[in-house]
Amino acid sequence: MAERVEVLLSEEKVNARIRELGELISKEYAGKSIHVIGILKGGSFFMCELAKRITVPVSIDFMSVSSYGSSTESSGVVKVVKDLDESLIGKHVLVVEDIIDTGRTISYLMELLKGKGAVDVKLCALLDKPERRVVDVKADYIGFQIPDEFVVGYGLDYAQRYRNLPYIGIVKFDS
């Protein structure tokens, strides 16, 4: 089965929204520093662009969690593949995720991180797909709410491909 990608959100639209999120986060954290946790692999593209637009002091770390494998459907089983390198005790934490889909993975992750001694833990997602939600998760900052389509680009992949697209696209499968 062949696939093609149709543009959903242009590179310009994505960049403009990330700039707005950076300004909002900078205002809300004025006078503080934040510890940004990028969720690998997909969230790294968004996290790097967002961090460049935050004007308060930023430190970064990464986590890798998995619930998809090579499928387009979440398995529902969350496993931590790479844990944090630094302690969260006393830090203002901002988790940066590429997409909130069913909510299972990020809900699990947020609860895990809240138990690690941070002052607060907030969530920023580039994309939110509320139609797919099975666990109630609310992000503090959202780039775009999108329809229930399988999307790629800006870090999101299909079987490890398309992460490098500078826009958000919908994968269309041709039979």
DSSP the chain: -EEEEEEEE-HHHHHHHHHHHHHHHHHHTTTS-EEEEEEETTHHHHHHHHHHT--S-EEEEEEEEES-TTSSS--S--EEEE--SS--TT-EEEEEEEEESSSHHHHHHHHHHHTTT-SEEEEEEEEE-GGG-SS----SEEEEE--S--EEBTTB-BTTBSTT-SSEEEEEEE-
The pLDDT, as a whole number, for residue 76 is 61
| Cis amide leading into 129 (omega within 30) | no
* pLDDT tens per residue across span 20-69: 999 999 999 999 999 999 999 889 999 999 999 999 999 999 999 876 55
Percent of the chain with pLDDT over 90: 78
What is d(CA 126, CA 154) in angstroms, rounded to the nearest whole number? Answer: 9
pTM, whole model, 2 decimals? 0.90
Task: Quickly state the pLDDT bin for 167 (edges 50, 70, 90).
Answer: very high
Percent of the chain with pLDDT over 70: 93
Is the predicted pLDDT of residue 72 greater than 60, yes or no? Answer: no
Return the bridge partners of 80, or none. Answer: 65
Q: Is 157 a catalytic residue?
A: no
- Answer positive or negative: Cα dihedral of 116, 122, 109, 104: positive
Return the bridge partners of 94, or none. Answer: 36, 122
Q: Average pLDDT for residues 76-92, to the nearest whole number? A: 88
Average pLDDT, the chain: 91
Task: Quickly state the pLDDT bin for 87 (edges 50, 70, 90).
Answer: very high
Among residues 101, 120, 140, 174, which one is catalytic? 101
Q: Average pLDDT for residues 86-92, to the nearest whole number? A: 95
